Structure 1
Amino acid sequence: MNIIIPMAGLGKRLRPHTLTVPKPLLPIAGKPIVHRLVEDIAKVCPEKIDNIGFIIHPSFGKEVEENLKAIAKEVGAVGKIYYQESALGISHALLFAKELFKGKIIVAFADTLFKAEFKLDTTKDGIIWVQRVEDPSQFGVVKLNENKEIIDLVEKPSSFVSDLAIIGIYFFKEGESLAGEMQHLIDNDIKEKGEYQFTSALQGLQKKGAKLMTGQVTEWLDCGNKNVTVQTNGRYLEFIKDQKLISDKAKIINSVVIPPCFIGAGVVIENSVVGPHVSVGENSRITDSRITSSIIQKDATVTRALLDNSMLGNFAIFEGSTLDLSVGDFNSIA
């Protein structure tokens, strides 16, 4: 089994945090988004994962590439790096990792996390993971027949088609067939809205007889912008609240940590109340502050602050008082 993760986007909706760190490497409960994604897929996958292909922008750099390879290694897979410079659609992006489209594969977008209670049925031709939503007009949705097979995929329907939204994770029993459909789009310059669409490749599979089914997750967590990323951090902390989340190498002095919170190694919290739903990266220092529902990354300094629904980047320095904040890496606000 191979996993392919397209993640070459520059994450503009999460700036300033993505000016120095690619969005999939931003932390959720102490681990990068893409690390959490890989771990969660591994939990529902009944077969060994051989390779994980990360499709990235060349500007991400060697340190990012080594981090991604280490993430793959943790689940017993080999990490492979592929480059996409121009955004010409998902089908175009995935073909940079064409060598991995052999046998059973999973395609997963790197800005979504999930909670699922099923094991992947690898005997099916294909499975599209979905969740029910209240407003399907904001999402791509699937339409089913009486046998629960997917008969149509509709992007942001203006009238009701289905409330099963596509979350961005897919399984295919024959990766070669999917690669062939995507290559057909490129070879014949078949575009929609100026891009080689993944949905078009899926429809091509269906026309050739592939039966696509749904895998319904119990919760779908977005990481598209600052607010939803902070919310996802809180929900994920709830998922793993029974795990050890506070490092033995953290110092908590005259302070209260209200769980669930992630507190990394080397963190110092003094004369403060932190939590619930706060993640604090390694070597950060919090003094004389009250912090709830926030993400503070590595080596940050927070003094005399009242923070909620906030993100602070690596090496950020904040002194003062606010309620809703988004401060990028290496910024200093006093």
Structure 2
Amino acid sequence: MKAIIPVAGAGTKLRPQSYTQPKALIPLAGKTVLSFIIDQLKDAGIEEFVFIVGFLGDKISDYVKEHHPDIQAHYVSQQERRGIGHAVNLTRNIVEGDEVFISLGDTICEYDVAAVLNSPHSMIGIRKVDNPRDFGVAEIDNKGFIESVVEKPHIPKSNMAMVGIYKIRESELLFECLASNIRKGLLTHGEFNITDALHCMIGNGVQFEAFKVDNWFDAGNKETLLRSNATLLRKYKATADPSQFENTVIVPPVSIGNGCVIRNSIVGPNVTLGENTFLDQSIVRNSIVGAFSNLFDIVLEHSVIGSDSSVKGETRSLNIGDNTSIDLG
């Protein structure tokens, strides 16, 4: 089985961070979204991964080589952002008829990965949502099999959203449906969606079993990123020893990267600090700060600060990209 991880999206809702950093590499609870996904699948026995990259794709490949050198990694470039269906179709020559496990690169889900991989059926991850119009939606029969799927319906017939995780045994049919939809120009909301290919597969007799994920952490925009960071920090009871830092109070949960220097500050709760970050005379709460950043005389609340950034002065809620210097004094 091969894992397919689409990470070619531009991450427009996470700008300015995504101008210089793929959203799959945004720090989250001491890791990255991409590492959460890879570790889950590695632990379940998957060794071969296909990454669909685009803008800043070299950062994805460099990260994987450094942090996951034990996996067999392939890279496919999606030059035009034409949807997840178009992206997955680019991997056909690498998949070569094997079963595939597709996991979108901006979402972390908690579920029994081994049980999904060992199921005799193709499977689609789902979760009940309040507003299904924002998602691909699945209708499920009383035996747990999916009767139909539709992408972002105006009038949903179900509140079961597809979370972006698919185990597909019939990969040749998947690629036939994808290629057919692309040839026909079958666009939904301006893109070639994988949902339309799944609809095609169901029409050709494939049985997809639904499985519910226990938790669904989204990194699609600043608000959901910060909520996911806080939830994961609490889940893993992340903390740090305040005695390592001069005149500093740590309020768990927090994740503090290696090499950080913190003085005269209060950090937490719900804070992730990237490695080699420097804080002095600052208070940071409910925030994510990238690696190699410098914060001085600042109170940060509900903020996302990119890597290699410098910020000082006053109280703010900020959303700052990489390589930025701001003086609020």
Shared fold, TM over 0.5: yes
Is residue 2:49 matched to residue 1:56?
no
Q: CA deviation at 1:326?
A: 0.9
Q: Which whole-Å CA distance do the structure 1 matches of 2:309 and 2:77 have between them? A: 30
> Could you tell me which of 205, 209, 214 is aligned with 2:210?
214
Q: Which residue of 2 aligns with 1:78?
A: 72
Change (3 A) 1:206 1:308: same
Q: Which amino acid counterpart does residue 290 of structure 2 have in structure 1?
A: Q
Aligned residue for 1:253, secondary structure, equals coil
Q: Which whole-Å CA distance do the structure 1 matches of 2:66 and 2:49 have between them? A: 11
Unmatched runs of 5 consecutive residues or more in structure 1 = none
Aligned residue for 1:39, secondary structure, equals helix
Q: CA deviation at 1:158?
A: 3.5
Q: Which whole-Å CA distance do the structure 2 matches of 1:189 and 1:327 have between them? A: 38
Stretch moving more, 105-114 or 92-101: 92-101
> What pairs with 1:19-98 in structure 2 (closer than 5 Å)?
19-43=19-43, 45=44, 48-57=45-54, 59-60=55-56, 62-73=58-69, 76-98=70-92
Q: CA deviation at 1:50?
A: 2.9
Is residue 2:309 matched to residue 1:319?
no
Change (3 A) 1:141 1:34: same
For normalisation by structure 1, the TM-score amounts to 0.90
Q: Which whole-Å CA distance do the structure 2 matches of 1:304 and 1:117 have between them? A: 45
Change (3 A) 1:241 1:197: same
Q: Which whole-Å CA distance do the structure 2 matches of 1:61 and 1:17 have between them? A: 15
Q: CA deviation at 1:160?
A: 4.6
Q: CA deviation at 1:291?
A: 1.1
Q: Which residue of 2 aligns with 1:147?
A: 143
For normalisation by structure 2, the TM-score amounts to 0.92
> Could you tell me which of 200, 214, 218 is aligned with 1:204?
200
Unmatched runs of 5 consecutive residues or more in structure 2 = none
> What pairs with 1:215-230 in structure 2 (closer than 5 Å)?
215-230=211-226
Structural RMSD (CA): 2.1
Q: Which amino acid counterpart does residue 130 of structure 2 have in structure 1?
A: E
Q: CA deviation at 1:280?
A: 0.6
Aligned residue for 2:116, secondary structure, equals coil
Q: Which amino acid counterpart does residue 224 of structure 2 have in structure 1?
A: V
Residue pair 1:124, 1:213 contacting (<8 A) in 2 also: no
Residue pair 1:291, 1:306 contacting (<8 A) in 2 also: yes
Q: Which whole-Å CA distance do the structure 1 matches of 2:123 and 2:23 have between them? A: 26
Q: Which amino acid counterpart does residue 86 of structure 1 have in structure 2?
A: E
Identity %: 30
Q: Which whole-Å CA distance do the structure 2 matches of 1:69 and 1:187 have between them? A: 35
Q: Which whole-Å CA distance do the structure 2 matches of 1:154 and 1:301 have between them? A: 46
Change (3 A) 1:14 1:40: same
Q: Which residue of 2 aligns with 1:167?
A: 163
Q: Which whole-Å CA distance do the structure 2 matches of 1:86 and 1:228 have between them? A: 26
Change (3 A) 1:276 1:142: same
Q: Which amino acid counterpart does residue 198 of structure 1 have in structure 2?
A: I
